[in-house]
Amino acid sequence: MSGYHGAPATNASEAADWSTGRVIQTNLRAVLGRAYPRVIGLTREPSWLFFEIFLPFLAVSAFVFVYRALEAPEEFIGFVVLGGAMTSFWLNVVWMMAAQFYWEKDQGNLELYFTAPMHLMSVLAGMAIGGLVMTSSRALAVIGIGSVLYGVTYDIQQPFLLAGVFLLTMIPLYGMGMLFASLFLLWGREAFHLAQLLQEPIYFLGGVNFPLRAIGPIAGVVMATLPLGVGLDAMRQLAFAGSGVEGVLPVGPEILILIAMGVVFLVSARLALGYLEFLARREGRLTLRWQ
């Protein structure tokens, strides 16, 4: 047996002495590495076309026909299509971010992530970016098919602002997923139930199928807690600007709320991750398969 090469450093101490640049590069590469399986999964599992596009589209269609039967304003059809697309991101956050560390632990990946010379936030960021790319394709498919099939007319006067609001929504949304990833592992022995618990309320609290203003004072709670609800409310105002649609708040304050939520969720995720790692090492559980 031959072919194994010698290590380039002359001793272990030298090999462990990394520059700040190398630390940053390693973490950026870790983001890329962890995003890769999610992005490549698009081409490996064609069944997602059915489960991730066709099935959600049926749910969207049901609300379209309800609004048509009630002769609701035409922009409501657009609200539902947009809401259906944005729901994909929520489901991705709940199942592929929040519950992910739990699955990773079962597979034995979490141990390897902990022992690799990168920060775990890089793994979470990789999951988020990979999930964002993967889900964007699904969301675009729902919007495209829904818009064509049901004749949705958009009135976008500020396309860059709309794109910006979308991205601003994704930061706290996936930041929330990063936070939940640690919390699921800390709280739950069964991530499946926790994920289910988070999945259903969003259809009501997020206003995904109706204008958020309709739920009255509860909308205030949404404004303070749910990035998806805030972002969706702002995006609807920007996507159907000419129809005179009113949001819970004007777009400007909602943008500020999204920025604040982004900071809060990312910082919280970082703190929760630090606590998780400390607890995992102290208690001897959470990361280890035999626990």
Partner 1 sequence: MPDELAIHARGVTRVYKAKPDPVTALGGVDLDVEPGEYFGLLGPNGAGKTTLIKILTTLLLPTSGTAKVAGFDVVHETAKIRRVINMVAGGEQSGYGLLTVREQLWMFSQFYGLPTREGWRRVDELIEITGLTEQRQQKVRTLSTGQRQKLNFARGLLNDPWVLFLDEPTLGLDVAAARDLREHTLSWKAAAPGRTLLLTTHYMVEAEQLCDRIAIVDRGKILALGTPEELRRRVQAESIFRLELDRLPQNGGIAGIAALPGVVSAVRADEEMADGAASDRVALKVALADDSALTSVVTAVAERGSHLVGLAKSEPSLEDVFVELVGRGFGDEDGDQEPAA
Point out which residues bind partner 1 (CB under 8 A). Answer: 1-13, 15-18, 22, 25-27, 29-30, 32-34, 36-37, 40-41, 44-45, 107-109, 111-118, 280-284, 287-288, 290-291
Query: Could you give the CA distance from residue 183 to residue 279 in angstroms, rounded to a whole number?
Result: 12
In the bound state with partner 1, the residue whose beta carbon lies nearer, of 1 and 148, is 1
Indicate the SS3 state at residue 240. Answer: strand
Shortest distance, CB of residue 3 to partner 1, whole angstroms?
4
In the bound state with partner 1, the residue whose beta carbon lies nearer, of 7 and 271, is 7
In the bound state with partner 1, the residue whose beta carbon lies nearer, of 41 and 73, is 41
Tell me the CA distances in angstroms from 99 to 62, 188, 277, one per residue in order.
29, 10, 17
Tell me the CA distances in angstroms from 9 to 14, 17, 40, 183, one per residue in order.
6, 10, 34, 39
Query: Could you give the CA distance from residue 286 to residue 88 in angstroms, rounded to a whole number?
Result: 29
Shortest distance, CB of residue 138 to partner 1, whole angstroms?
17
Angle (deg, nearest 10), helices 159-187 and 75-92: 40
In the bound state with partner 1, the residue whose beta carbon lies nearer, of 37 and 144, is 37
Query: Could you give the CA distance from residue 206 to residue 200 in angstroms, rounded to a whole number?
Result: 10
Shortest distance, CB of residue 265 to partner 1, whole angstroms?
24
In the bound state with partner 1, the residue whose beta carbon lies nearer, of 15 and 49, is 15
Shortest distance, CB of residue 107 to partner 1, whole angstroms?
6
Task: Write the burial class of residue 286 (CB in 10 Å: 0-12 exposed, 13-18 middle, 19+ buried).
Answer: buried
CB atoms within 10 A of CB 90: 24
Query: Could you give the CA distance from residue 291 to residue 275 in angstroms, rounded to a whole number?
Result: 18
In the bound state with partner 1, the residue whose beta carbon lies nearer, of 36 and 192, is 36
Shortest distance, CB of residue 88 to partner 1, whole angstroms?
20
Per the CB < 8 A criterion, the answer to whether 287 and 114 are in contact is: yes
Shortest distance, CB of residue 32 to partner 1, whole angstroms?
6
Shortest distance, CB of residue 165 to partner 1, whole angstroms?
32
In the bound state with partner 1, the residue whose beta carbon lies nearer, of 64 and 123, is 123
